[in-house]
């Protein structure tokens, strides 16, 4: 049997995985559960791991996978800011492992401070299974501000073209029409807050009219040399 806090954390992690495909940072988990320190989150995650509800994914910073949901969680009332777990989506026809597509490679995107906006110059061959619906492009990640979301310098971010974003989405944001950056998208009154996933970096805040969403993170491609 899980405690109320363990239930809440499991709900929150699954909610974030459902909406963005990326597990939340420890700071986000701490805020969502109303805890005063990250040590409480570490204890909750360790307890959920020991009981077989969570698994830490190897070689990815703070990446988590929900393995199962307790029966009690289906009737337990969630906190106001936690969305109940969704039923698994119907199985789709699997994409053949050797199906590949080419997407435009638009240069580098900053995962740190904004850099110059990217330009078209090449294509990248990508397994079709990594892409969802819609039109996509790829960007090479430069910087380390998203490492706690499992996004590292040199990775290729696969981006679904979009002009809007939901709270907590990882987006490509164009600032002042010239600086592009990869960050979590948040609204803060009339401002847009672009949050890093690295405690060494501060959030970036801009008036909404200075920020244009150019896409949402769909997947990652990593090459090992």
pLDDT of 146 strictly over 90: yes
Query: Which CATH code fits 4-74?
Result: 1.10.10.10
> Does 191 have pLDDT greater than 90?
yes
162 neighbors 132 (Cβ within 8 angstroms): no
Q: Domain ranges in the chain?
A: 4-74, 100-221
Give pTM, 2 decimals. 0.55
Listed range (65-74, 197-206, 216-225) with the worst mean pLDDT: 65-74
Is 5 annotated in the active site? no
**How do strand 136-142 and strand 100-110 relate by DSSP bridges?**
parallel
> Quick one: pLDDT at residue 194?
95
Q: What secondary structure does DSSP assign to 143-179, as a single string?
A: SSTTGGGT--TT-EEEEE--S---TT-EEEEEETTTE
Question: Which of the following is catalytic: 20, 23, 25, 183?
Answer: 183
Q: Which CATH superfamily is domain 100-221 in?
A: Umud Fragment, subunit A (2.10.109.10)
Confidence of residue 85 (pLDDT cuts 50, 70, 90): very low
pLDDT 10s digits, 193-214: 999 999 999 999 999 999 999 9
* Residue from 20, 23, 25, 145 carrying the catalytic annotation: 145
Specify whether 183 is catalytic. yes
């Amino acid at each position: 049997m899980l405690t109320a806090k363990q239930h809440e954390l499991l709900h929150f992690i699954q909610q974030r995985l459902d909406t963005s495909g990326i597990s939340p940072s420890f700071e986000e988990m701490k805020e969502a559960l109303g805890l005063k320190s990250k040590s409480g989150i570490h204890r909750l995650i360790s307890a959920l791991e020991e009981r077989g509800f969570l698994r830490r994914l190897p070689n990815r910073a703070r990446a988590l996978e929900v393995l199962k949901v307790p029966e009690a969680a289906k009737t337990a009332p969630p906190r106001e800011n936690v969305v109940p777990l969704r039923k698994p989506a119907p199985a789709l026809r699997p994409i053949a492992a050797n199906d590949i597509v080419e997407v435009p490679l638009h240069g580098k995107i900053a995962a740190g401070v904004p850099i110059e906006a990217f330009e078209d110059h090449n294509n990248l061959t990508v397994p079709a299974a990594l892409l969802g619906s819609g039109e996509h492009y790829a960007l090479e990640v430069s910087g380390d501000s998203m490492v706690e979301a499992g996004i590292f310098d040199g990775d290729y971010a696969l981006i679904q073209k979009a002009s809007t974003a939901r709270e907590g989405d990882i987006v490509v944001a164009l600032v002042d029409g010239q600086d592009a950056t990869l960050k979590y998208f948040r609204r803060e009154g009339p401002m847009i807050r672009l949050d890093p996933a690295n405690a060494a970096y501060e959030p970036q805040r801009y008036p909404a009219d200075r920020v244009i969403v150019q896409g949402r993170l769909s997947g990652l491609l990593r090459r090992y040399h």
